[in-house]
Structure 1
Amino acid sequence: MKMMIPTKKYGRQAALFGLAAAGFYLLMIYITLAHIEALSGLRPFDMRPGGYSAEQANSLINALGSSGRRYYLTRQIPLDLVYPSLMALTLVSLLKWLGSRDVSQKLVRIGTWLSITAAIADYLENAGICLMILSWPETSANTVLAASVASIVKSGLTTAAVLTVLLSAVFWASKRARTYAR
């Protein structure tokens, strides 16, 4: 006989982490990243899912000026040090909740792995952004390349993690619909 895992805990965790993640995301999008874009006239690194070249990175860092660079490091980066964990915890909690409702454990494991590695890639992106800003105007092409690759990887893994959660939810909803249809 299969033992049922308590699911309320996962649902509450998903809701709490999700609300916190949404709050941080909104702060970043509408305040810090919007301010960075207004200062520089260019899209911030965090808003470039396709990455960026050394020329684009240097243009952004230069356009920010010293106060904009300080703002990026002291306002945006601290928020973006909390957000990746909150996002991963939200997705993992949702997956655990769905997994406790008879969704494939393989799908739960894949989604959990994707969520955690997306957060790690986001932290690597943040480290690269900090290095670029702190070393400017002597930013190395390798640092830019590493940060850009981390941005691309983060975007791809985050998309895959969210799609895995959505796919899991569709499987759960279709199982549930078939059960009620009987």
Structure 2
Amino acid sequence: MKIKEMIVVEGRDDTVAIKRAVNADTIETGGSAINETVLKKIRLAQEKRGVIVLTDPDYQGERIRKIISRAVPGIKHAFITQEDGTKNGDIGVENASPATIIKALSELRTEMAESEGEISVEDMVEAGLSSGPDSKARRLKLGELLGIGYANVKQMHKRLNAFQISKEDFLRAVAAVNSEKGDRP
């Protein structure tokens, strides 16, 4: 499978994993020390070919994703789960199977400009995503089902609306989380 867009990853091992899965060019951020030179490359790539961000499903990966999102509007996002990116206690894109990478690249999300969105913080509270002993696990599963990755409450709310997840899709995913857990009506 040939990917037209440039894929932004954190390092060389991630590039190797991407190339095992698809025919694509990558831009490496050099880990969490993303600088203006790398951001210029990403801006140029977005202008010429488009950009997909596929960073590690951990704190540093999310930090890099946010920096790029603020600096380069209209980029696409691909997500892998922590489970799919973990091998021998190490978490990262480099640990994902080719099938996992292909799946992530087939479920791209494009972040839209800040908007109020359909999903409120109250909707998240009602869904048990912002308080309670299992809210983190519920957000993890919801992010997986919707293809937007794991995030804390504030970031999950922002992502749900930035990726224009409809209220209907949100409620359907919440119902699936509830049926798995068997703990909510």
User: Greater helix share, 1 or 2?
Assistant: 1
Q: Comparing both chains, which one has the higher relative contact order based on Cα–Cα distances under 8 Å and sequence gaps of 6 or more? A: 1
User: Greater strand share, 1 or 2?
Assistant: 2
TM norm. shorter chain > 0.5: no
Q: TM-score, normalised by structure 1?
A: 0.25
Q: TM-score, normalised by structure 2?
A: 0.25
- Computing the radius of gyration over CA atoms, which structure comes out larger, 1 or 2? 1
